[in-house]
Amino acid sequence: MAEYSYDILLDRLAALCSQKEKSEYDAYSYLQKKGVPSAECQKAVDYLVKNRFIDNQRFATAFARDKARFDKWGVKKIAAALSAKKIDQHTIQEAVGQISGEQQKETILAETTKKAKGIKDLSTPQAKAKLLRFCAGRGYPPALSLQIINQITNKQYNQ
């Protein structure tokens, strides 16, 4: 173990989990980085889950809501990030399912419109491709992205 005892690390991790939602994976990684053996890491994570310091469902829901609202991420990017944190697929689907389609549409429209302002000629296929790559990078659904890109470029033609 590093410079701290197991009990001190467990108390510190419990305090961190009280302040901000953490996943089981985050807690396990934190303890491993501090040099705690794997068996004790799992024991600590189990303790934190049992005492409701950690709840993957609660974490996934908060993560999805915050990433959609503040970082303007799409559901695909949110799902990939949650999957990287070892959250199960059922929990991921429930979390991203709480992001409304209307909220997604408004976000895609606002963010893509901002991006389109930086493109000189929106009538070219390259411009549409650039906007589509932008949307894909943000994790927006392709069909909805294409629909909104067409809406933006058609508006540009008519002006």
All residue ranges of the chain with pLDDT < 50 are: 1-2
pTM passes above 0.85: yes
Residue with tokens 């915050």: 66
pLDDT of residue 3: 53
pLDDT of residue 1: 40
pLDDT of residue 2: 45
Burial of 156 per CB tally in 10 Å (0-12, 13-18, 19+): middle
| 3-class SS string, 99-141 | CCHHHHHHHHHHHHHHHHCCCCCCCCHHHHHHHHHHHHHHCCC
pLDDT of residue 153: 87
Condensed to tens digits (0 to 9), the pLDDT of residues 50-77 reads: 999 999 999 999 999 999 999 999 999 9
What DSSP element (H or E) covers 59? helix 56-69
pLDDT of residue 6: 83
Task: Determine the longest span between alpha carbons in the chain, in angstroms.
Answer: 68
Question: At residue 74, what is the residue type?
Answer: G
| DSSP state at residue 85 | T
